[in-house]
A and B are shown apart, each in its own frame.
Chain A
Amino acid sequence: MGKILEKLKISKVLSSDGAWGTLLQAKGLKPGECPESWNLDHPDEVMEIAALYCSAGADMTETNSFGGNYFKLKHYGLEQKVTEINRRAAELSRKAAGREKIVLGSVGPTGKILMMGEVSEKELYEAFREQSMALADGGADAIVVETMSDLDEARIAVQAAHENTSCEIICTMTFEKTVTGEYRTMMGVSPTEMIPVIRDAGADIIGANCGNGVKGMVDIVKEIRAFDLVIPILIHANAGLPRYEEGKTVFPESPEEMASYVPSLVGAGANIIGGCCGTTPDHIRLICDALKMYR
């Protein structure tokens, strides 16, 4: 049994980290700059972000490797550095997390569409294999395949990570509420459709990330729980829908507001709660406080 499942046996719920992109920007990441290149050029700043979330109380922190796959890095001419960038990403988060806390190696989508023939299943598998092996090599305890919208791509990423590393595998997809009130990914996948495919591919933990805010996540957790009574569920919610004010993107949900949904999320069956876009160490601190009574 892996580290996360072990810990979940002891305390029913765990906390995760918040947004990375906005914190990197606050530290000087420029528009058009490759965020993952900072693992090599600005390692201290990257480590500081993981450290901020750890000291906010998160039980686990992600790595700065969301776009660290071959296809995304190729855009910056960094495709030869996939292994180096991802290994470094895991090492930096590991350094901040110490031995006790959990490091989640972040794996995002490639941006290529299988059904349009832009990429083959084999090429996708190879890209996810390369990235997840480097993350594992750098010390990641788990691989989190996240922000997925295409079920085939998610399945291939989970398989590649599961078959080539000894990490625990988490997979979260991004669901939006449709006009008819259901939750679907951009490619039309519902939480219910996701579960059997991702579970069979080797995921230990499933869930949802990004989206329109924490409120919708309660419904998504309910839908997953209705289908699968046992699989641990991870939620990384946005701090609401972004608004634009004074030249800046602002997320409407305050730390207090987000934390107020923790009881509903846990009640619906969520096991690990953290944040996505717009969440900060303050959000995570209050989420951790709210989780205390369930541990």
Chain B
Amino acid sequence: MEEILQQIANCIEFGKTDKASPYPPDMKGMDGADELTRLALDNGINPSDILSQGLIPGMEKIGIKFRQNKVFVPQVLMSARAMNLAMKHLKPYFRSGEVKRKGTFIIGTVVGDLHDIGKNLVSMMVEGNGWEVIDLGIDVKAEKFIAAVREHTGSVVGLSALLTTTMVNMESIVKHLRDEVPGTRVIIGGAPVTEGFREKIGADFYSSDPQGAVEYLNGLTE
């Protein structure tokens, strides 16, 4: 049982999506995250164990390698793809409540900014860590974040921006969220964003990489 979960974790870490995928070359012809997750479920392995001992450790490993610049965006995207395929098999168990999400995370790229790569990376890492992710997309205004938080009470909000000219829009979004839905936790990230900026605009947390966001969110559940 443990072996197949370890294999799933490897597939996620190295971005092995399914048997047909030629990537990575040294896993060619082997079963991928898709086949192995199905097989694990068919073998009666608990879906929560697949999540906690397969998907989560795999995503964590790639997240740490990304932080250390041992891999770059393409490798993380392949891992996320593998994770998504595995997740598809687990979806019914999330819906039935058999597997519990850790919480809800609402994410969007702030108004004026059309960049979504960073946001998507965070979104995928957080989802692969067992959170429900509501992705509001790009160019998102404060009102949309507020409406989403009202709909999903207790959720954590993530704001993304790539441009120095748009990161300033985070400040008013944080302020609006504080006014409208007090107590909402807001985390921020993006290339030009810094810890000093977070302090100034009064957001709760800043991370320079997606794994940091995952670690912060997991800390909230402990």
Cα of A264 to Cα of B166 in the assembled complex, Å: 32
B64 interface residue per 8 A CB criterion: no
Q: Could you say which residues of chain A place their CB within 8 Å of the CB of B194?
A: 241, 243-244
B134 interface residue per 8 A CB criterion: no
Q: Is A111 within 8 A of B115, CB to CB?
A: yes
Among B43-51, B52-60, B151-159, B196-204, the stretch that binds chain A is B196-204
Q: Is B164 within 8 A of A278, CB to CB?
A: yes
Instruction: Knowing A242-B192, A244-B197, A247-B171, say if A31 contacts B163 (CB, 8 Å).
Output: no
Q: Could you say which residues of chain B place their CB within 8 Å of the CB of A72?
A: 114
Q: Could you say which residues of chain B place their CB within 8 Å of the CB of A116?
A: 77, 81
Cα of A224 to Cα of B69 in the assembled complex, Å: 21
Q: Is B73 within 8 A of A111, CB to CB?
A: no
B116 interface residue per 8 A CB criterion: yes
Instruction: Knowing A25-B165, A111-B114, say if A186 contacts B72 (CB, 8 Å).
Output: yes
Q: Is B192 within 8 A of A247, CB to CB?
A: no
Cα of A179 to Cα of B72 in the assembled complex, Å: 12
Contact string, A103-147, partner B, CB cutoff 8 A, digits 1/0?
000000001010110000000000000000000000000000000
Please pick, from B69, B81, B165, B196, the residue contacting A22 in the complex, using a CB distance under 8 A.
B165
Q: Is A186 within 8 A of B163, CB to CB?
A: no
Contact string, A151-192, partner B, CB cutoff 8 A, digits 1/0?
000000000000000000000000000111000111110000
Cα of A70 to Cα of B74 in the assembled complex, Å: 24
Cα of A180 to Cα of B169 in the assembled complex, Å: 32
Q: Could you say which residues of chain A place their CB within 8 Å of the CB of B114?
A: 67, 72, 75, 111
**In this complex, what residue of A is CB-closest to B197?**
A244
B111 interface residue per 8 A CB criterion: yes
Contact string, B79-105, partner A, CB cutoff 8 A, digits 1/0?
001000000000000000000000000
**In this complex, what residue of A is CB-closest to B166?**
A31
- Tell me the B124-144 residues at the A interface (CB within 8 Å): 138-139, 141
Contact string, B111-125, partner A, CB cutoff 8 A, digits 1/0?
110111100000000
Q: Is B196 within 8 A of A244, CB to CB?
A: yes
CB distance from A87 to the nearest CB of B (A): 22
Contact string, A185-219, partner B, CB cutoff 8 A, digits 1/0?
11110000000000000000000000000000000
Please pick, from B68, B139, B201, the residue contacting A32 in the complex, using a CB distance under 8 A.
B139
Q: Could you say which residues of chain A place their CB within 8 Å of the CB of B78?
A: 115
A21 interface residue per 8 A CB criterion: yes
A248 interface residue per 8 A CB criterion: yes
B167 interface residue per 8 A CB criterion: yes
Number of A-B residue pairs, CB cutoff 8 Å, is 80
A249 interface residue per 8 A CB criterion: yes
Cα of A134 to Cα of B77 in the assembled complex, Å: 34
Cα of A113 to Cα of B81 in the assembled complex, Å: 13
Please pick, from B68, B139, B165, the residue contacting A249 in the complex, using a CB distance under 8 A.
B165
Cα of A251 to Cα of B194 in the assembled complex, Å: 13
B4 interface residue per 8 A CB criterion: no
Q: Is B112 within 8 A of A187, CB to CB?
A: no
CB distance from B135 to the nearest CB of A (A): 15
Cα of A30 to Cα of B139 in the assembled complex, Å: 13
- Tell me the A1-45 residues at the B interface (CB within 8 Å): 21-22, 25, 31-33
**In this complex, what residue of B is CB-closest to A179?**
B69
Q: Is B165 within 8 A of A21, CB to CB?
A: yes
Interface centre among B78, B164, B166, B197 (most CB of A within 10 A): B164
CB distance from A292 to the nearest CB of B (A): 30
Q: Is B164 within 8 A of A277, CB to CB?
A: yes
Q: Is A115 within 8 A of B77, CB to CB?
A: yes
Interface centre among A75, A115, A248 (most CB of B within 10 A): A115
Instruction: Knowing A113-B117, A244-B197, A247-B171, say if A32 contacts B111 (CB, 8 Å).
Output: yes
Instruction: Knowing A113-B117, A184-B72, A187-B72, say if A244 contacts B201 (CB, 8 Å).
Output: yes
CB distance from A242 to the nearest CB of B (A): 4
Cα of A180 to Cα of B70 in the assembled complex, Å: 9
Cα of A243 to Cα of B200 in the assembled complex, Å: 10
Instruction: Knowing A67-B114, A188-B72, A248-B168, say if A21 contacts B163 (CB, 8 Å).
Output: yes
In the complex, the 7 A-B pairs of residues with the closest C-beta atoms, listed nearest first? A188-B72, A178-B69, A31-B112, A244-B197, A242-B164, A32-B112, A21-B165
Q: Known pairs A75-B139, A186-B72, A187-B74. 4 more at Cβ < 8 A?
A: A21-B165, A184-B72, A187-B73, A247-B171
Q: What are 20 A-B contacts defined by CB distance under 8 Å?
A: A21-B165, A22-B165, A25-B165, A31-B111, A32-B111, A32-B141, A72-B114, A111-B115, A111-B116, A115-B74, A178-B69, A179-B69, A186-B73, A187-B72, A188-B71, A242-B167, A243-B196, A243-B197, A244-B196, A249-B192
Residues of B within 8 A of A (CB): 68-69, 71-75, 77-78, 81, 111-112, 114-117, 138-139, 141, 163-169, 171, 192, 194, 196-197, 200-201
